[in-house]
Amino acid sequence: MVPLAKYLPEFDWEPVVLTPYLLEKGALPFRVVETSYRDPLSFIKVLPGFDRQIDAGTQVKTRLGSAGKNPFVEFMLTRLGEVINYPDTHRGWRLFALKAARELLKSGGIDVIMSCHPPISHLVAHSMKTEFGLPWLADLPDLWSQNHNYRYSPTRRFFDRRLEIKTLSTADAITTVSEPWAEQLRELHTGKKI
């Protein structure tokens, strides 16, 4: 959302970006609200011998001696990851984001909700749209369940597709980066402005 938000002040919009962390630090022409975030794999890092500063998935692979060497272990870790990280790896942000979004919207001055990748941001926006009734634009610079780099199983894709349809059903408009992707979205989200 930050790359898009940079340009909104040029069109007299004053964006407020809600994020678990901001990769791009420095002077930005808009307000940023950073919230806490809980890593879905944080429970692994409290086990003896695990380093809290290193990615939990990498540590598990190293402990199992796989680290890309054992296809079965890689397959099983991917299947486990698609359950633990549902609907995406940022799921530990949702409760913090909902709380902060409610506070922002209750304080007033917000006219439109925009959400951008990852999917968890769309879930938060869907909740806020339902609760506050503001217009909502869902931006998909990468497709969700139709992503060409989708790495999960057909079962996970089924649940992602269902969640995507339900979540984006309340969006007032959906944007993406190309006409072919827009066409894919039109087929999945019939009747939506895309």
Task: Provide the token pair at 108.
Answer: 């007033």
Q: What is the pLDDT at residue 65?
A: 66
Q: What is the pLDDT at residue 187?
A: 97
Q: How far apart are CA 83 and CA 170, in angstroms?
A: 26
37-69 pLDDT, tens digit each: 887 766 666 677 777 777 766 777 777 765 556
Q: What is the pLDDT at residue 138?
A: 97
Of the chain, the percentage scoring pLDDT greater than 70 comes to 88
Three-state secondary-structure class, residue 80: helix
Q: How far apart are CA 181 and CA 183, in angstroms?
A: 5
Please report how many Cα atoms fall inside a 13 Å half-sphere around the Cα of residue 24, on the Cβ side.
Answer: 12
Q: What is the pLDDT at residue 107?
A: 94
147-192 pLDDT, tens digit each: 988 888 899 999 999 999 999 999 999 999 999 999 999 999 999 9
Instruction: Name which of 24, 27, 151, 4 is nearest 89 in CA terms.
Output: 151
